[in-house]
Amino acid sequence: MKQYDYLIVGAGLFGSVFAERAKSAGKKCLVIDRRDHIAGNVYTYEQAGINVHKYGPHIFHTNDTEVWEYVSRFTKFYNFKLGTIANYKEEIYSLPFNMYTFNRMWGVLTPEEAEAKIAAQREAAGIAEPKNLEEQAISLVGTDIYEKLIKGYTEKQWGRPCKELPSFIIKRLPVRFTYDNNYFNALYQGIPVGGYTQMVANMLDGIEVRLGVDYLEQKAELDALAEKVVYTGPIDAYFGYKLGALEYRSVRFEVEELDKPNYQGNAVVNYTDRETPYTRIIEHKWFEQGSGEPGKTVISREYSAEWKPGDEPYYPVNDEKNGALYQQYKALAAKEKNVLFGGRLGEYKYYDMDQVVRAALYAAEKELS
Ligand code: UDP
């Protein structure tokens, strides 16, 4: 008999949901994390009374009622709806692509006029079957929007030409012929009151957590503690990169606390030109209705970079080459006895938070029933 039923590597959303489910099924869990805090990349901390999203903006949105009800057991949510703004060389556009965007771009007033404009640009570009992100974008919204709002931003974020990126990435954004700038098509959307860290702490309530513990450095000792392992770190790191490294994008943040009540008038402003070195500026107080110390605000500029050893991995690069390599690692993972791989890094997948929660609930149900 080992001391724990499950050793859970990573205190992010996948690990924490799995741990919560396992605990409530009567299992004994130990959760460890390499970092000095829980909550993985959804971690928030307080600065000037504002919950700062340390690893980039996270808006919880889902169409999955069960997932929404599950997370709502651990937090209340601000009724927040994301409406992003794009700054292209000091022209301001509404995102995602909607009638406000089309009106600002072309002066069109009706959905018919906007659709006709896009159809004409699609035809001029001669795209029948979109094969990559560039073709997909032009075929969805036309060349003008592609050039001003997509090309520069995407190439900064991914560090690759749009022609070499998979088209699914741009399909994350809705295209609407209505005056509706809600960034997500979601039945439920919100920001946890008190921050994501508190929500995750509530999930982990009563579960042993050890921080600052690097699993891969002490694998044998840690494995000896538990019957099974749930691993949510990078899958290629688990195997010592023996088939080669998967590619990830990393993000660097420059955080500034300012003595002013309102810096940019919105939670998210994207800089979609190629020259501005950062992709977007987040003003964290606008996720929580302008909360925080009066006269203060906290902003962060996001700089995207190729991941290299020692950096934090954020986004898997889900193109063909990496997809093929991941399949090889996945085959190795299937042979690992008593280890479950999960989450954005463990499954090398551009998951949203609700999809991670859903995946962890499935994994727990399968494992624990
Ligand atoms: N995107 C873009 N222009 C924008 C915002 C997004 O071209 O102003 C594209 C870009 O390729 C990005 C993708 O849409 O990678 C998905 O954007 P999303 O906001 O979902 O990215 P995340 O918030 O996950 O970084």
Q: Is the CB of 269 under 6 A from ligand 1?
A: no
Tokens of 123: 């035809």
Q: Is the CB of 173 under 6 A from ligand 1?
A: yes
Distance 308 CA to ligand 1 centre (A): 22
CA-to-CA separations, 78 to 46, 104, 158, 343, in angstroms, rounded: 17, 30, 31, 25
Determine if the peptide bond prior to 313 is cis (ω within 30°): no
Distance 86 CA to ligand 1 centre (A): 11
Sheet holding 77-78, edge to edge: 60-62, 188-192, 77-78
Residue nearest to atom 10 of ligand 1 (CA): 154
Domain residue spans of the chain:
4-82+189-243+319-368, 96-172
Distance 199 CA to ligand 1 centre (A): 26
* Section 140-165 average pLDDT: 97
Q: Is the CB of 18 under 6 A from ligand 1?
A: no
Amino acid, single-letter form, for residue 134 = E
Q: To which CATH superfamily is domain 4-82+189-243+319-368 assigned? A: NAD(P)-binding Rossmann-like Domain (3.40.50.720)
Q: Per residue in 172-202, pLDDT tens?
A: 999 999 999 999 999 999 999 999 999 999 9
Distance 273 CA to ligand 1 centre (A): 13
Based on the residue annotation, tell me whether 344 is a catalytic residue of this protein: no
Based on the residue annotation, tell me whether 73 is a catalytic residue of this protein: no
Tokens of 158: 């991914």
pTM, full prediction: 0.96
Residue ranges with strand state E in 163-296: 188-192, 208-211, 226-231, 248-258, 268-271, 280-283
Distance 75 CA to ligand 1 centre (A): 27
Based on the residue annotation, tell me whether 172 is a catalytic residue of this protein: yes
pLDDT of residue 1: 86
* Section 296-311 average pLDDT: 96
* Section 271-295 average pLDDT: 97
Based on the residue annotation, tell me whether 303 is a catalytic residue of this protein: no
Q: Is the CB of 274 under 6 A from ligand 1?
A: no
Based on the residue annotation, tell me whether 176 is a catalytic residue of this protein: yes
Cβ contact 31:210 at 8 Å? yes
Q: Is the CB of 98 under 6 A from ligand 1?
A: no
Using alpha carbons, select from 252, 264, 270 the residue that is nearest to residue 299.
Answer: 264
Q: Per residue in 9-50, pLDDT tens?
A: 999 999 999 999 999 999 999 999 999 999 999 999 999 999
Q: Is the CB of 153 under 6 A from ligand 1?
A: yes
pLDDT of residue 128: 87
Q: What proportion of the chain, given as a percentage, has pLDDT over 90?
A: 99
Ligand 1, pocket-test mutation among 170, 278, 355, most atoms within 8 A of CB: 170
pLDDT mean across residues, the chain: 97
